[in-house]
Each structure stands twice: as structure tokens, then as C-alpha cells.
Amino acid sequence: MPDQGPGAPAEGGAGPTPAATTGQARMLAALRRQPVDRTPVWFMRQAGRSLAAYRELRERYDILTITRTPELCARVTMMPVNELGVDAAVLYADIMLPLVGMGVPFSIDPGLGPIIHEPLRSAADIARLVVVESAEEATPDLFTAIRGVRQQLGARAAV
């Protein structure tokens, strides 16, 4: 029998019927390939554009302001959980954020994307990079937002 993913019946039988659970437990069980009561659902950051509250917030703040302000970041991260009841909160962040902690300033042009203001073009530029010991050191605001989201969610949804 081909693998049918988390929660699929065991070969030759119906398998266990898992009880309904919290979003966090459901997501973690599915990631461990354990039976779940239903397939967990989460909402990618880009999909937030469909939420009216997100669009309203974006009229007032740019992406980097939201990602660098723990309260705003947590609010946007929580929107799909609160409005749609998804099983996991996907942190509202940007892959470029660690660059700030490394001493590489950048901005995001909505029509173009990230712009590195002082591109690394030489060995001397590389030597000037700040070596960070941890992800939290490079992105402290993001970790503050993560702690806030985890506190708000408890076991209701995974982060």
C-alpha cells in the first residue's frame, strides 16, 4: 500500500482513530507522521493579503516596519489563527532580516524587492560583517515577536 501521509490507515486495517486535538498537537503529530484527526492547516505569510485586517495594516506600515516591530509582527502572525482557526501560526518575517544584525543595511521596495544599500563587493566588505553568535542576536525583535505569539497561542496552534 502506498504511503498516504499522516493519519492514513495502517496497511490491512483501518488503523487508530485519533481524537480531536489542539492545532499545536495536531501539527506536531503530523510532522512526526503520527495519526491525526484531520490534516493540519496553516496560512503562509503571502496568503495574508486576503485578510482585510492585514491589508488595512499594510496601508499604514511597510513590511520591514511590521517585521521589526514585535507587537505588529505578532498581530499579523496571529491574524490567520484568529480569523480562520488554522492549526499553526507562520511567523510574519522576511528572509533578509538577519542581514541587519550582520551590519548589512537594506530596504524593501514594494515594486522591486530587497535593496542592499552597501553591497558586499570585496574581501574587506566581507571582513566588516558582524559575526553573530545566534539567530536571536541577529534578529532580536523577531524573537520577541515569537515569544509574544507563543504566549498568546498556548497549545491552541503551533508556531
pTM: 0.79
Cα dist from 68 to 65, 77, 101, whole Å: 5, 13, 12
CB-based contacts of 45, cutoff 8 Å, min separation 6: 90, 91, 92, 93
Q: How confident is the model at residue 42 (pLDDT cuts 50, 70, 90)?
A: confident
Q: How confident is the model at residue 11 (pLDDT cuts 50, 70, 90)?
A: very low
Residue range 116-127, pLDDT digits in tens: 999 999 999 999
